[in-house]
Chains A and B, each alone.
Chain A
Amino acid sequence: MTAPIDGDTCEQVAALIRATQALPPDRAIRPEHLLFYDLAFSSMDLLDLLFRIEDHFGVTIAEGSLYGLARGDLPDAQFAEGGMLTPLGRERLMAVLSDTPAAIFPERITTDGLPRFATVGAIARLVDHLRGEGR
């Protein structure tokens, strides 16, 4: 997830975002754009986008993919507790979403809201990661 973004993947993800949000073709979508902050995504928009990505790229993005990537090999109890990320879990999430401005992350982050902090580039990297795994 920290690998450089594949420009072609990013362009394809941007096209899928335009389709999801019914944006005009000339609407600029950049890798650093935050889905929920810059592109006015709702949780249903995100689900719609993930389905489009699955259809387009032939990958499967299971619920909790970002959670799993951020947690890595950390024991679950050290990553999150009571539905909230631990301070260490928050650090891990910020490392995975390294192109998201640090100021966006609140001190307390609920585990079911992690995609809220993703950029277009992070989604493209997730796609490349899953394609690399052959999923």
Chain B
Amino acid sequence: MFEWLHTLAIHGDEARAVAEARVPADHPFLADHFPGVPILPGTLQIELCAQVAGPLVEELAAGRDGGERWAFLGMVRSATFHAPIKVPATLAIFATATRAERDSAVVQAVLSQAVDAVDCRVELVMMLRPPEPGWDEAVRVYRARIAALKARARP
């Protein structure tokens, strides 16, 4: 498991979220990608975007109907990678929900190494489901993690 998000700010009224991720150079996932020249794989760039998209659409769903929803990545509609991201890296992730319904949401996200740069652009479909029986502990840990990320984002 990797937890690279460092901060998360959700602006529900604007259906957008901003996050900072800090990717270490020595994570085992990166050992072979590539030996001596560690570059963040595209799949993990998508995952980082999804980790921002999830809490965003969960908050939008809660604001709309008050129900507890659990978001997970359902579909990658598009993904483009514009520059290699050498690690260690500090990345900004900007996510905007372009559509938010009861069971699904569409999120466009950009991942950037520097101001005004676009290193990865994705359009994700996040699925929303009520937590299932037996998920209580997972939900509790996840919610605590999101709360900590939000607390770090506060000025």
Contacts and interface: CB of A to CB of B under 8 A. Distances in A.
Contacts of A47: 74-75, 104, 125
A48 B74 CA distance: 10
Contacts of B6: none
Interface string B73-110: 01101000000000000000000000001111000000
A118 B77 CA distance: 24
A52 B74 CA distance: 15
Contacts of B77: 51
A63 B101 contact: yes
Contacts of B125: 47, 51
A63 to B, nearest CB: 4
Task: Sort chain A's interface into a size bin.
Answer: under 10
A48 B75 contact: yes
Interface in A23-66: 44, 47-48, 51, 62-64
A63 B103 contact: yes
Interface in A72-100: none
A112 interface: yes
Given A44-B74, A47-B75, A62 B101 contact: yes
A64 to B, nearest CB: 8
Interface string B121-137: 00001000000000000
B69 to A, nearest CB: 13
Contacts of B74: 44, 47
A123 B75 CA distance: 21
A112 to B, nearest CB: 7
Interface in B33-75: 74-75
A63 B75 contact: no
Contact of B75 (A44, A62, A112): A44
A112 B104 CA distance: 12
Given A47-B74, A47-B125, A112 B101 contact: no
Contacts of A48: 75
Interface of B: 74-75, 77, 101-104, 125
Given A51-B125, A63-B103, A112-B103, 6 more contacts: A44-B74, A47-B74, A48-B75, A51-B77, A63-B102, A63-B104
Pairs of residues from A and B, 9 with the lowest C-beta to C-beta distance, nearest first: A63-B101, A63-B102, A63-B103, A44-B74, A44-B75, A47-B104, A48-B75, A47-B125, A62-B101
